[in-house]
Structure 1
Amino acid sequence: MTEIIMVKEYSSGHQPQIVDLILNIQQNEYQIPITGEDQPDLLNVEDFYQKGAGNFWVALHGDKVVGTVALLDIHNRQTALRKMFVAQEYRGKVFGTASLLLNNAKAWAEAKSVDEIYLGTTLQFVAAHRFYEKNGFQEIPVDALPENFPVMQVDKKFYKYNVIG
């Protein structure tokens, strides 16, 4: 296998690996009591994410899905960053998987004339907080979110990124 990570748009053939990757991280690494049934978006990526200014991408190492990221179009030239997950062995600077995924999403947002990207995350994802902050996201209070932002039950910390400027 090559050391290169490729970022590609979601296709249905990726779905089983995506579900396995995300559930493994949520349940086994962070002990979040969540199931696939609690996340119907994972079973219907095309209709949920791949419309308007939204999309879903996978990071691939060969044929193996090692990361995911999505932008959900929440209208008003705003998106929600969702499903940012990277397999443990592909985190960090060696592969740069998270940066590849995030930069891909940012470039997409800019090309789609999105003004702002918002995200919610759990308090447990401390390394993710640092990652987002290093990549230009500013922490905001929950009441600064747009009214159409879909707050997930587990999300307790929120960020905003200004796409241009």
Structure 2
Amino acid sequence: MKPLKIKSIDNSYSTQAINLIIEIQQNEFRTSITINDQPDLFEIEDYYMQKGGNFWGAFIENELVGTIALANFGNSNGAVRKMFVKESFRGKELGIAQELLNELISFSSAHNITDLYLGTIDVFKAAQRFYERNNFTIINKEELPVSFPLMNADNLFYHLNIK
């Protein structure tokens, strides 16, 4: 196994991130989510970094194999977004998803973000198990902070306090 490198990525990686994410959403999971539903991917720096969040890529030999993003939406709250790992690089053995989440949690702690929220889609069963293994708890949509950046497709919601 080649070494994994996780680093912050900016707008110069938008095309690679879009290709990875759309492939998983549309071809693997057959969702109707399009790039037009995700304008943040064209403006990674404005949407994530300028507001106190970040966007990370997982690379193996310069190939983008995973992504995760943190949207800071105020009051010590962050939204976990764009958590995707290419199918052939998934699993506990490689631990890429875990490394990405660990990076996001470390960043959050260092930047006084104490509560993480996320929305997902019920067809992403492995993702749900992953979040639950990492102590995220399911919450009702009504329990989300008012300023949480909702995605139309999301129908399951999670919360994690990292204090």
The two structures have a TM-score, normalised by structure 2, of 0.96
Does residue 21 in structure 1 map to residue 20 in structure 2?
yes
Q: Is the 8 A contact 2:68 2:100 kept in 1?
A: yes
Query: Using the alignment, how far apart are the partners of 1:52 and 1:152 within structure 2?
Result: 18
Amino acid aligned to 1:30: F
Please, which runs of 5 or more residues in structure 1 have no aligned partner?
A: none
Give the CA deviation at 1:79: 0.5
CA distance in 2: counterparts of 1:4 and 1:143, whole angstroms:
42
- Where does residue 70 of structure 1 map in the other structure? 69
2-structure distance, mates of 1:12, 1:151: 22
Q: Could you tell me which amino acid in structure 2 is paired with residue 103 of structure 1?
A: N
Equivalent residues in 2 for 1:132-147, closer than 5 Å = 132-147=131-146
Which segments of 5 or more consecutive residues in structure 2 lack a partner in the other structure? none
* Aligned residue number for residue 30 of structure 2: 31
Given that 2:11 and 2:43 are in contact with CA atoms closer than 8 Å, whether structure 1 keeps it comes out as: no
**What is the alpha-carbon root mean square deviation over aligned residues?**
1.1
The alpha carbon displacement at 1:151 in A equals 1.6
Tell me the CA shift for residue 160 of structure 1.
0.4
| Cα offset, 1:119, TM superposition | 0.2
**Could you say what secondary structure the match of 2:36 adopts?**
coil
Distance 2:58 2:77 in 1: 23
**Count of aligned positions:** 163
Using the alignment, how far apart are the partners of 1:163 and 1:52 within structure 2? 20
